[in-house]
């Protein structure tokens, strides 16, 4: 079991229903999630999320046919997850509490603006969002994350679970910009940068600076092809690896339900020492949450911030993410692996 898969710990006060009595409460789209996909292996509480979502999206006749010999760990679904129509909010709320219990830490909090206090984060029904109030403002002032029963919000919540400090930083800068400019159709460069990274971001972490530099320069051969043996395989983490990618963008995770070669992430580069790759996956992610939060705090505080400062990364070109990229010719598709603005500037 990967290190991010914390064992499910039923609350002693919770009512645990056997699967045979639980009817599926999510539509079939949730059953399409491949929780073993390499780009999902870093998600915190993945084991709990996957088993619970699979149970709740399974047709009732399949639920009734489950063997009584299934283990309790495989059967466990907290009844609080399904007691209201707000299924995803309750699943995520339980996952966040289990993570806090496992770490013996309080629940994560918002990053407050100067006139606010930190608020404990929790997932709530979309109906809790007052009409006319900005989503980000509501989170910042209450800690409540409005959540709908759809794939987009499931993946958004999964990233809140995995990178809570970074998500809180992004929301903080949304709040600052809303206070300055109000809500309008034009978000401005700061909020545009936040949105691109929040929806479509990826984190490339490396102990070899040349790989990150090559990615920024659109040099696909030097970033993805020639150093392939340096890339970490998410299914078999390697202490000797020198580079890995972890997806941050929740919309990108949703798009990857149906992978297409042109899908492109917008990435940041985090430089680490080689010791990073000796850490268990869960510790890597907690370390990265601190580092990415610091990186985005610095980036978003700059007057000249723009989404163009995020490096394009064709996500299925990441070694070990997609079987077809094992062949070098995969990267010869100039429609996907473009020379880019920086390479053009060099030629000029």
Give tens-digit pLDDT for 63-85: 444 444 343 344 344 444 444 56
Q: How many CB atoms lie within 10 A of CB 297?
A: 16
Contacts (Cβ under 8 Å, ≥6 apart) of 245? 202, 203, 204, 205, 265, 267, 313, 315, 318, 321
Question: What pLDDT does 18 receive?
Answer: 31
Write out pLDDT tens, residues 143-153.
999 999 999 99
Does the pLDDT of residue 1 top 50, yes or no?
Answer: no
Whole-angstrom CA distances from 176 to 110, 140, 238 are: 13, 10, 41
Mean pLDDT of the chain: 87
SS3 149: coil
By the 8 A CB rule, do 251 and 219 touch?
A: no
Question: What pLDDT does 58 receive?
Answer: 75
| Minimum mean pLDDT range among 156-160, 177-181, 338-342 | 338-342
How many Cα atoms are found within 13 Å in the side-chain-facing hemisphere of 73?
7
Give the mean pLDDT of 20-45: 83
Question: What pLDDT does 23 receive?
Answer: 37
By the 8 A CB rule, do 29 and 258 touch?
A: no
Distance CA 341, CA 348 (A): 11
Write out pLDDT tens, residues 250-309.
999 999 999 999 999 999 999 999 999 999 999 999 999 999 999 999 999 999 999 999
- DSSP line for 246-308: EE--HHHHHHTTS--TT-EEEEEEEE--GGGGGS-HHHHHHHHHHHHHHHHHHHHTSTT--GG
Contacts (Cβ under 8 Å, ≥6 apart) of 162? 4, 42, 43, 44, 285, 289
Nearest to 314 by CA among 250, 246, 266: 266
Whole-angstrom CA distances from 256 to 37, 149, 194 are: 9, 19, 21
Instruction: State pTM to two decimals.
Output: 0.86
DSSP letter at 13 equals T
């Amino acid at each position: 079991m990967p290190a991010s898969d914390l064992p499910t710990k039923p609350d002693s006060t919770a009512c645990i229903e056997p699967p045979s009595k639980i009817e599926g409460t999510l539509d079939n789209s949730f059953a399409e999630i491949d929780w073993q996909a390499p780009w999902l292996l870093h998600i915190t509480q993945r084991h709990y999320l996957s088993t619970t979502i699979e149970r709740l999206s399974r047709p009732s006749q399949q639920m009734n046919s489950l063997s009584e010999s299934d283990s309790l760990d495989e059967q466990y679904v907290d009844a609080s997850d399904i007691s209201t129509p707000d299924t995803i909010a309750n699943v995520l709320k339980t996952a966040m509490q289990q993570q806090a219990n496992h770490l013996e830490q309080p629940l994560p909090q918002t990053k407050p603006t100067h006139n606010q206090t930190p608020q404990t984060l929790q997932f709530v029904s979309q109906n809790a969002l007052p009409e006319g109030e900005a989503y980000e403002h509501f989170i910042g002032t209450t800690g409540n994350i409005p959540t709908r029963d759809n794939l987009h919000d499931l993946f958004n919540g999964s990233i809140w679970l995995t990178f809570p400090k970074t998500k809180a930083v992004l929301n903080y800068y949304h709040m600052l910009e809303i206070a300055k400019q109000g809500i309008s159709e034009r978000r401005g460069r700061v909020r545009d940068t936040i949105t691109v990274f929040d929806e479509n971001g990826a984190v490339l972490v490396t102990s070899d600076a040349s790989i990150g530099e090559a990615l920024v320069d659109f040099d696909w051969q030097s970033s993805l092809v020639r150093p392939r043996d340096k890339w970490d395989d998410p299914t078999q983490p390697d202490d000797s690896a020198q580079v890995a990618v972890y997806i941050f963008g929740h919309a990108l995770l949703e798009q990857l339900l149906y992978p297409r070669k042109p899908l492109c992430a917008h990435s940041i580069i985090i430089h680490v020492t080689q010791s990073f790759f000796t850490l268990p996956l869960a510790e890597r992610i907690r370390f990265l949450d601190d580092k990415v939060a610091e990186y985005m705090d610095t980036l978003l505080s700059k007057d000249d911030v723009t989404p163009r400062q995020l490096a394009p990364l064709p996500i299925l070109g990441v070694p070990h993410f997609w079987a077809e990229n094992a062949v070098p010719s995969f990267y010869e598709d100039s429609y996907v692996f473009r020379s880019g603005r920086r390479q053009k500037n060099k030629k000029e």
